[in-house]
């Protein structure tokens, strides 16, 4: 919390600096702003200004600084501001943005507007235009083109010259990559290697040839996995011919991880994933993402009504049985949700290999059996205590206790089997979570419960 | 892609097994040196226990440390427990300090003490300090391999200094500048130094605005700073604002995964731990799940008592019971949907507490729209299931209105309860699916029977 307050205090500082600059846009006010506030804090502060104030503020700033701030803004705010800034200023700002951020915002605009901006961008426009060609969730879609590439035949001296020449454009370059005459990626060097080397050493002699890369059409999730596994600070992206086309930084990967988790969580709660943020989603959009699953589950769930109807006579004679229906089906559903969430997450983090599946099922079986037993004891006690005219306490205890054991066991096993099966079949396991499992357990649980009740009561 | 990796790993396993069998030490070291440590670590689990031990006996500690850093905790501790203390200490020394600290904290106290007492005094003290920080604080994930310059250093001297001391540093993209009291006054990258005029002073070319984090601050807050400022490393400072460590972006990737796992498990009513599924024992898995199941069980008892309270209505109209699981199930699902999206948005700070009213208003409208659709479906269903004692119209109306109300309630409660938890400074992730379902069950039953009383008059 302390930290959060600090962050808030920082953007307040930034806001007062922004206001001071807007009141009197002098060089001094600009200097104060640029040296005392970070772009992300200024971006935060802009949220509390009017559109006109933002427009004026960004117009007054040099494009380079404006771009630093701009790329920290939420995408929908960026799009909104493009509308009021005018094509020329917009093109200036986009030219100064990092290529991946520029491509992200341009892909949000309609084609005509995007083309207008691209035309105004000259040289940088080409890079960004290339980036726009890649699918959003591929390595190409998240990479940037600000990398440092050295030719393998150069010496260290030449490398330093190159570094100086392209310096301001590539401040995310943690490593420098080495390419051959055709632009194919052949090695990697850290800046440290370069600094430590002799001036006359050839790049090819000091580089590390064991360079890991991903293809531009590789899924972003795959890229994230490679990135995490090898602990890089940046990962090069190559085209089909092995030519270096971009780099992915750790910050891009953090975004991917967040995005994938959000998608999984939404799927696990029986929603179709949202395109943007919850905040920017309209009521109708949210509704349409949820109603599909809700209806599907409702229709499946209707089976429970049929099962209850089928046991009308039993229920009419022993009303007490009804009291335990929600309890029983919920417990099975809850145990299933726990198991499925655990398994789905472990699958997403690739903790399992195919060979582990049997071990996982065996483990889950034991966990489920233990959970079922523990809860059965509780359920037995609860049923014994619940006053009933139609059932003897021993009968109630036996029926409810035994049913709890089997329903919890069933829920928990189903909760682990279904995601694993989906994964094996090449489907996304995330949808087989809480709500779907709960709905299945509802029907199965009732069948188990009434079946046990009938045999105990000799009905 | 995945298959390429698999093939590569299999080839590594075969080669290592062959070299171990031949006891060809030189060739083994040469081979291991050429592989990426992460691949070796993956191959490691396919070796026998004895092969693992022999492998580590043969490898020089530098190389061994690179591999140990990439291993999963259970293998790390296995190796440490098998090796002689001398050898284990050498590996710990060669590892990056943050990884070494994590490993030390996993060892039994006796083993940990043995290793620490075998290190030189200064190093042992450093580990003792690192071990004293909470696991999930910034201090708990930081490393101590950073470079600190003085603002008065000339650029060419600084370059020379980095050449001499930079070998160990985790990153040279973020080099910090500190005053004589070790307080951070600036930051710059190796490239800034390389391309600068050699006669300038570091203080003249450094950036003065530095994003930093306190040593006791939660790792989740540190991750937020990375995301917000797009930095590749963050310096960690102690209570006196002195530089004590550095967190790099790859540490944060782990934090992001860990926090997501924790949230997902909490949302399903599982008390999470840091270990992987495969390395967690069944009894431990049981204890991580049983607590919430019992709590939810006790809360669920309320639904039994509510129905008991309406026993008379049920005896008169058993048909009412047919729709109970469906009704509460549907409302619970709507609640899970709403709570999941709100909890995630709160975690990513996309929404804040001040947006509460806006969120609730939004969810009220969504809930009503969802309730209308499912309510109509309910009316249709009530017509398909024969019931003699209640008229079609009364039953349909009761079901329709009850579903509309409970689904709306589910959506609003699903969004409102996590917000409430957050207001009370509790973790909103706990109030997800299972708990919402339980709350909605009880409320749904009260609504259902009340509506039935009014419309059917039982």
In the block, residue with structure tokens 């399903």? B268
CB contact under 8 A, A435 and B433: yes
A305 interfacial to chain B (CB closer than 8 Å): yes
Q: Shortest Cα distance from B120 to chain A (angstroms)?
A: 28
Total residues belonging to chain A: 459
- Do the beta carbons of residue B407 and residue B331 sit within 8 Å? yes
Domain boundaries, chain A: 2-133, 149-249, 283-457
CB contact under 8 A, A254 and B189: no
Q: Which burial class, exposed, middle or buried, applies to A347 when counting CB atoms under 10 A from its CB (0-12, 13-18, 19+)? A: buried
- Do the beta carbons of residue A224 and residue A253 sit within 8 Å? yes
Site from B341, B359, B379 to mutate, A interface, most A CB atoms within 10 angstroms: B341
d(CA B292, CA B287): 9
Q: Shortest Cα distance from A78 to chain B (angstroms)?
A: 16
pLDDT in the model for residue A118: 81
Question: Which spans in B310-432 are helix H?
Answer: 311-316, 324-347, 356-384, 392-423
- What stretches in chain A show pLDDT beneath 70? 1-12, 166-174
CB contact under 8 A, A349 and B257: yes
Residue A425's SS3 state is coil
Measured in Å, how far apart are chain B's first and last C-alpha atoms? 65
Q: Shortest Cα distance from B394 to chain A (angstroms)?
A: 17
d(CA B143, CA B128): 13
DSSP string, B51-109: HHHHHHHHS-HHHHHHHHHHS-HHHHHHHHHHS-HHHHHHHHHHS-HHHHHHHHHHS-H
CB contact under 8 A, A326 and B304: yes
Binding-face residues of B in 15-54 toward A, CB within 8 A: 34, 36, 38, 42
Question: Which spans in A311-324 are helix H?
Answer: 312-317, 320-323
Fold of A283-457: Tetracycline Repressor; domain 2 (1.10.357)
pLDDT in the model for residue A123: 72
- Per-residue pLDDT tens digits for A32-48: 888 888 888 888 888 88
B330 interfacial to chain A (CB closer than 8 Å): yes
In the block, residue with structure tokens 């962050």? A7
The two beta strands, A175-179 and A185-190, are antiparallel
B424 interfacial to chain A (CB closer than 8 Å): no
B313 interfacial to chain A (CB closer than 8 Å): no
B399 interfacial to chain A (CB closer than 8 Å): no
pLDDT in the model for residue A173: 60
Q: How large is the ipTM?
A: 0.77
Q: What are phi and psi of A257, to 5 degrees?
A: -60, -45
Distances (CA, A) of B271 to A388, A440, B130, B257, B261: 36, 24, 26, 16, 11
A331 interfacial to chain B (CB closer than 8 Å): yes
pLDDT in the model for residue A403: 92
Binding-face residues of B in 72-111 toward A, CB within 8 A: none
In CATH terms, the superfamily for domain A2-133 is MgtE N-terminal domain-like (1.25.60.10)
Q: Shortest Cα distance from A112 to chain B (angstroms)?
A: 30
B177 interfacial to chain A (CB closer than 8 Å): no
- Contact list in A for residue B321 (CB cut-off 8 A) is 308, 315, 322, 325
B273 interfacial to chain A (CB closer than 8 Å): no
CATH 3.10.580.10 is the classification of domain A149-249: yes
User: What's the token pair of residue A366?
Assistant: 């034991």
CB contact under 8 A, A251 and B230: yes
CB contact under 8 A, B300 and A305: no
- Contact list in B for residue A37 (CB cut-off 8 A) is 209
List the single residue in A with minimal CA-CA distance to B280: A363
Question: Which spans in B208-319 are helix H?
Answer: 219-229, 249-267, 282-309, 311-316
Question: For chain A, what is the mean pLDDT?
Answer: 82
Binding-face residues of A in 100-119 toward B, CB within 8 A: none
Binding-face residues of A in 137-176 toward B, CB within 8 A: 160, 163-164, 167, 171-174
Q: Shortest Cα distance from A195 to chain B (angstroms)?
A: 7
pLDDT in the model for residue A174: 65
- Per-residue pLDDT tens digits for B73-127: 888 888 888 888 888 888 988 888 888 888 888 888 888 888 888 888 888 888 8
d(CA A390, CA A383): 13
- What stretches in chain B show pLDDT beneath 50? 1
Q: Is the dihedral of CA A77, A78, A79, A81 positive or negative?
A: positive
Q: How much of chain A is helix, strand and coil, in % rounded to 5?
A: 70, 10, 25
d(CA A41, CA B229): 8
Closest CA relative to residue B243, chosen from B147, B371, B358: B147
List A179's β-bridge partners, or say none. A151, A185
**Residues sharing a CB contact under 8 Å with residue B358, sequence separation 6 or more, in sequence order:** none
* H-helix or E-strand spanning residue B438: helix B433-456
CB contact under 8 A, A371 and B293: yes
List the single residue in A with minimal CA-CA distance to B352: A279
B59 interfacial to chain A (CB closer than 8 Å): no
Q: Which burial class, exposed, middle or buried, applies to A389 when counting CB atoms under 10 A from its CB (0-12, 13-18, 19+)? A: exposed
CB contact under 8 A, B214 and A287: no
List B106's β-bridge partners, or say none. none
d(CA B423, CA B354): 10
| Domains contained in chain B, CATH given | 2-132 (1.25.60.10), 148-248 (3.10.580.10), 282-456 (1.10.357.20)
CB contact under 8 A, B293 and A375: yes
Closest CA relative to residue A328, chosen from A409, A416, A385, A387: A409
The two beta strands, B243-248 and B233-237, are antiparallel
d(CA A103, CA A80): 16
DSSP string, A77-126: HHHHHHHHH-HHHHHHHHHHS-HHHHHHHHTTS-HHHHHHHHHHTTHHHH
CB-nearest partner of B336 from A72, A270, A295: A270
B318 interfacial to chain A (CB closer than 8 Å): yes
CB contact under 8 A, B256 and A167: no
List the single residue in A with minimal CA-CA distance to B301: A327
CB contact under 8 A, B369 and A283: yes
- Do the beta carbons of residue B180 and residue B162 sit within 8 Å? no
């Amino acid at each position: 919390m302390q930290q959060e307050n600090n962050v808030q205090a920082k953007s307040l500082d930034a806001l007062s600096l922004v206001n001071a600059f807007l009141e009197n846009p002098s060089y001094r006010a600009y200097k104060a702003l640029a040296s005392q506030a970070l772009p992300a804090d200024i971006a935060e502060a802009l949220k509390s200004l009017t559109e006109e104030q933002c427009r004026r503020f960004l117009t007054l700033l040099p494009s380079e600084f404006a771009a630093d701030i701009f790329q920290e803004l939420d995408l929908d705010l960026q799009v909104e501001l493009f509308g009021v800034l005018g094509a020329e200023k917009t093109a200036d700002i986009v030219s100064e943005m990092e290529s991946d951020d520029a491509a992200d915002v341009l892909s949000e605009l309609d084609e005509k507007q995007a083309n207008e901006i691209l035309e105004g961008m000259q040289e940088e426009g080409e890079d960004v235009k290339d980036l726009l060609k890649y699918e959003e969730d591929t390595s190409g879609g998240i990479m940037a083109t600000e990398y440092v590439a050295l030719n393998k035949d150069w010496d260290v001296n030449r490398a330093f010259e190159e570094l100086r020449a392209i310096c301001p454009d590539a401040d995310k370059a943690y490593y420098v990559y080495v390419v051959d005459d055709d632009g194919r990626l052949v090695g990697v060097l850290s800046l440290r290697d370069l600094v430590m080397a002799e001036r006359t050493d050839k790049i090819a002699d000091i580089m590390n040839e064991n360079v890991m890369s991903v293809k531009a059409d590789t899924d972003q999730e795959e890229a994230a996995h490679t990135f995490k596994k090898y602990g890089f600070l940046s990962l090069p992206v190559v085209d089909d011919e092995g030519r270096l086309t971009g780099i992915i930084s750790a910050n891009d990967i953090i975004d991917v991880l967040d995005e994938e988790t959000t998608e999984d969580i939404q799927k696990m709660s029986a929603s179709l994933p949202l395109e943007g943020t919850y905040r920017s989603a309209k009521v109708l959009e949210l509704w349409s993402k949820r109603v599909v699953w809700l209806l599907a589950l409702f229709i499946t769930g209707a089976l429970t009504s049929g099962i209850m109807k089928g046991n009308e006579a039993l229920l009419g004679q022993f009303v007490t049985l009804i009291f335990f229906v929600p309890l029983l089906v919920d417990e099975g559903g809850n145990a299933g949700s726990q198991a499925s969430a655990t398994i789905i997450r472990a699958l997403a983090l690739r903790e399992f290999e195919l060979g582990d599946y049997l071990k996982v099922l065996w483990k889950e079986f034991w966990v489920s059996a233990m959970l079922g037993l523990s809860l059965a004891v509780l359920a037995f006690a609860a049923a014994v205590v619940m006053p009933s005219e139609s059932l003897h306490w021993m009968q109630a205890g036996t029926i409810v206790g035994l049913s709890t054991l089997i329903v919890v066991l069933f829920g928990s096993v189903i909760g682990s089997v279904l995601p694993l099966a989906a994964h094996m079949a090449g489907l996304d396991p995330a949808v087989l979570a809480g709500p779907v499992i709960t709905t299945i357990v509802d029907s199965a649980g009732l069948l188990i419960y009434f079946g046990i009740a009938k045999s105990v009561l000799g009905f | 892609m995945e298959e390429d990796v698999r093939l590569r790993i299999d080839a590594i396993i075969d080669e290592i097994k062959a070299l171990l069998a031949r006891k060809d030490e030189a060739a083994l070291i040469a081979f291991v040196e050429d592989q990426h440590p992460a691949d070796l670590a993956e191959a490691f689990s396919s070796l026998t226990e004895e092969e693992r031990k022999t492998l580590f006996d043969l490898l020089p500690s530098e190389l061994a440390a690179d591999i140990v850093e990439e291993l999963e905790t259970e293998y790390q501790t296995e190796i440490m427990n098998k090796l002689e203390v001398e050898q284990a200490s050498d590996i710990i020394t060669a590892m990056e300090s943050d990884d070494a600290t994590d490993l030390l904290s996993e060892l039994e106290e006796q083993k940990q003490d043995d290793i620490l007492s075998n290190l030189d005094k200064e190093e042992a003290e450093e580990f003792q300090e690192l071990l004293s920080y909470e696991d999930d604080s910034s201090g708990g994930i930081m490393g101590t391999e950073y470079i600190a310059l003085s603002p008065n250093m000339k650029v060419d001297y600084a370059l020379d200094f980095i050449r001499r001391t930079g070998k160990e540093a985790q990153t040279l993209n973020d080099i910090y500048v500190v005053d004589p009291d070790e307080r951070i006054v600036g930051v710059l990258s190796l490239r800034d130094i390389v391309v600068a005029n050699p006669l300038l002073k570091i203080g003249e070319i450094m950036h003065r605005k530095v994003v930093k984090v306190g040593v006791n601050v939660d790792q989740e807050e540190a991750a937020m700073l990375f995301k917000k400022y797009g930095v590749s490393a963050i310096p960690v400072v102690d209570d006196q604002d002195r530089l004590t460590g550095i967190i790099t972006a790859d540490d944060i990737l782990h934090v992001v995964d860990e926090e997501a796992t924790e949230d997902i498990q909490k949302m399903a009513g599982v008390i999470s731990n840091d270990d992987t599924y495969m390395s967690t024992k069944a009894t431990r898995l049981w204890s991580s799940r049983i607590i919430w199941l019992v709590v939810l069980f006790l809360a669920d008892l309320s639904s039994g008592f509510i129905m008991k309270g309406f026993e008379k209505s049920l005896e008169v109209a058993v048909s009412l019971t047919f729709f109970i699981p469906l009704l509460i199930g549907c409302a619970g699902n709507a609640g899970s949907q709403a709570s999941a999206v709100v909890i995630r948005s709160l975690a990513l700070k996309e929404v804040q507490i001040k947006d509460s009213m806006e969120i609730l208003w939004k969810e009220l409208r969504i809930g009503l729209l969802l309730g209308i659709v499912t309510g109509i479906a309910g009316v249709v269903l009530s017509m398909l299931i024969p019931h003699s004692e209640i008229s079609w119209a009364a039953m349909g109306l009761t079901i329709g209105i009850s579903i509309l109300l409970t689904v709306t309630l589910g959506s609003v409660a699903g969004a409102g309860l996590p917000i409430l938890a957050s207001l009370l400074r509790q973790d909103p992730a706990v109030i997800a699916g299972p708990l919402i379902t339980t709350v909605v069950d009880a409320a749904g039953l009260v609504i259902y029977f009340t509506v039935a009383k009014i419309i059917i008059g039982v």
